[in-house]
Amino acid sequence: MRKQLLHTTLRKYLVFSLLVLMVTAPVFYVFTEHWHRAEAEEALLLRLHEFERYTLPGFQISDIEKWNEWNRDQQILPDTGSITKPWFSNASHLNIMDGDQEPYRELYAPLQINGTRKLFYARENLLDNMDMVYNIVSLYVSILILLIVGMMILSGRVTRKLWKPYYAMLSALEGFKVDKPEMPDLPESDIDEFHRLKEVSEKLIERNVTIYRDQKEFVENAAHELQTPLAVLQGRLDNLIQDEKLTQEQLAELSKLSETIYRLHYLNKNLLLLSRLEYDQYQDTGSHNLAVLLEKQLDFLEELAREKNITIEKQEWESISVQANQVLLEVLLRNLLSNALKHNASGGIIRVQLQHQRLLVQNTGPLTELDKGRLFNRFFRANDQEQGSGLGLAIVKKITDRYGWIITYHFDGAYHSFTISF
């Protein structure tokens, strides 16, 4: 599935931004929490230093009980002997007011009170400061998300504006047809790459238009130039064949030569038709009753079918109107029916069905499926012994493509089926 360049770029920006958010937000939280813990430890050490400086000089053992009673977050505890320097730890304590456990940072430090070793204990509630940490992290994440969204919106608008000349140029090129005299109006741009693209596109278009006109003129001239000598040659051969002095051997050779010239004439005619189709020289269109045209072609075909002992069956039949050039419609029907006749066997059957905006032509013939990949290619033959130019189905495919119709081939083991959906 193809992706638009703008969407692909924005998607990559978005993925990168989300990765940055996912990585930096936890890191930012960890560092903020670390700084918050460090602040709590600094506050606890400050309490210890204040106690040692202002309270400890006059403090007595007998004052401990009263001190502990009046100071909830600072206590003088018995010495355990295991703490020789200030030591920090985390703990949680019950909040009597709301019944919740709250986190604390605690300090234990050794003291000498009247020559007796004691422990100074202090704690700092982390909950209030944690709310501040959460608020800071939330603010950081919100700002980062706002920056990402703003960057995406701004990048999208800026990119669309920058690429506007490109899309205008693409639209003009899509509507350009080499067989039309109108040149595409490619917009100017102050962006160097788009300006260069405009210049290169204009040169390429001019070169292709020139080549197209030269080829068109060559095909037309070549076809007309070939038609005249072929007609002259065919006429002279016909005159020679009428000569009564010819032997049977000479007559046979001249007949083969006449047949070859006829095939060459037919091949030239079909190649000219294909070229005109490619150069879109059949512009006249109108509404035509497909049943009427098909009936006429079947009338022409019936005599040839009787000669090969082939039965033509007209099945479901209804009136269908299509918009197309009448000459091309007749060529399409004639080639499709001729193909069913040519590749049939003596005593075979051709079935024709016309209904539901579809034309179905079936014929008996070879008991093997044709190569679907090459069936509509020019000069394709199922085997080398087949007569014909190999252009009939190629012309049919070119006509259906020109009008947006769909042609399909199917083999069910008995019938080769060609279906055209209008």
Q: Is the pLDDT of residue 46 over 70?
A: yes
* Structural domain span for residue 232: 192-278
Q: Where are the alpha helices (DSSP H) in 288-345?
A: 290-307, 326-342
Q: Which of 61-65, 136-140, 303-307, 371-375 is predicted least confidently?
A: 136-140
Assess whether 388 and 296 both reside in one domain: yes
- Compute the average pLDDT of residues 261-265: 72
Count of domains for the chain: 3
Assess if residue 159 is contained within a domain: no
Q: 364 with 349: CB under 8 angstroms?
A: yes
Assess if residue 371 is contained within a domain: yes
Residues in the chain: 422
Q: Is the pLDDT of residue 357 over 70?
A: yes
Assess whether 313 and 213 both reside in one domain: no
Task: Please give the pLDDT value at position 8.
Answer: 65
- Compute the average pLDDT of residues 80-100: 84
Assess whether 122 and 20 both reside in one domain: yes
Please write the tens of the pLDDT for every residue from 166-200: 788 888 888 887 766 677 888 887 778 878 888 88
Q: Which of 21-35, 338-352, 395-409 is predicted least confidently?
A: 21-35
Q: Degrees (nearest 5) of the Cα angle 243, 248, 251?
A: 50
Q: What is the CATH number of the domain that holds 391?
A: 3.30.565.10
Assess whether 293 and 273 both reside in one domain: no
Q: Is the pLDDT of residue 386 over 60?
A: no
Assess if residue 179 is contained within a domain: no
Q: Is the pLDDT of residue 353 over 80?
A: yes
Q: Is the pLDDT of residue 415 over 70?
A: yes
Give helix then strand counts, H and E, for the chain: 8, 11
Assess whether 267 and 317 both reside in one domain: no
Assess whether 323 and 268 both reside in one domain: no
Assess whether 205 and 137 both reside in one domain: no
Q: 319 with 294: CB under 8 angstroms?
A: no
Helix, coil or strand: residue 119: strand
Instruction: Give the position of tokens 């032997």.
Output: 247
Q: Is the pLDDT of residue 289 over 60?
A: yes
Assess whether 54 and 100 both reside in one domain: yes
Q: Is the pLDDT of residue 76 over 80?
A: yes
Assess whether 269 and 345 both reside in one domain: no
Assess if residue 342 is contained within a domain: yes
For residues 266 and 243, which has the higher predicted lDDT (pLDDT)?
243
Task: Please give the pLDDT value at position 261.
Answer: 75
Q: What does the CA dihedral 157, 160, 165, 171 come to, rounded to 10 degrees?
A: -140
Assess if residue 18 is contained within a domain: yes
Closest residue by Cα to residue 36 from 134, 138, 139, 144: 134
Last residue of a domain, one of 278, 305, 325: 278
Cα gap 298→336, rounded to integer Å: 11
Last residue of a domain, one of 123, 148, 173: 148
Mean pLDDT of the chain: 81
Assess whether 144 and 15 both reside in one domain: yes
Task: Please give the pLDDT value at position 108.
Answer: 94
Q: What is the CATH number of the domain that holds 269?
A: 1.10.287
Assess whether 213 and 237 both reside in one domain: yes
Could you report how far apart the first and last alpha carbons of the chain are, in Å? 29
Assess whether 39 and 142 both reside in one domain: yes
How does DSSP assign 132-187, residue by residue? Answer: HHHHHHHHHHHHHHHHHHHHHHHHHHHHHHHHHHHHHHHHHHHT--TTSSPPP-PP
- What Å distances lie between residue 43 and 50, 107, 122, 131, 415, CA to CA? 11, 10, 10, 18, 97
Assess if residue 175 is contained within a domain: no
Most confident of 7-11, 105-109, 206-210, 302-306: 105-109
Assess if residue 167 is contained within a domain: no
Helix, coil or strand: residue 247: coil
Q: Which residues contact 142 (CB under 8 A, 6 or more apart)?
A: none
Q: 178 with 212: CB under 8 angstroms?
A: yes
Assess if residue 308 is contained within a domain: yes
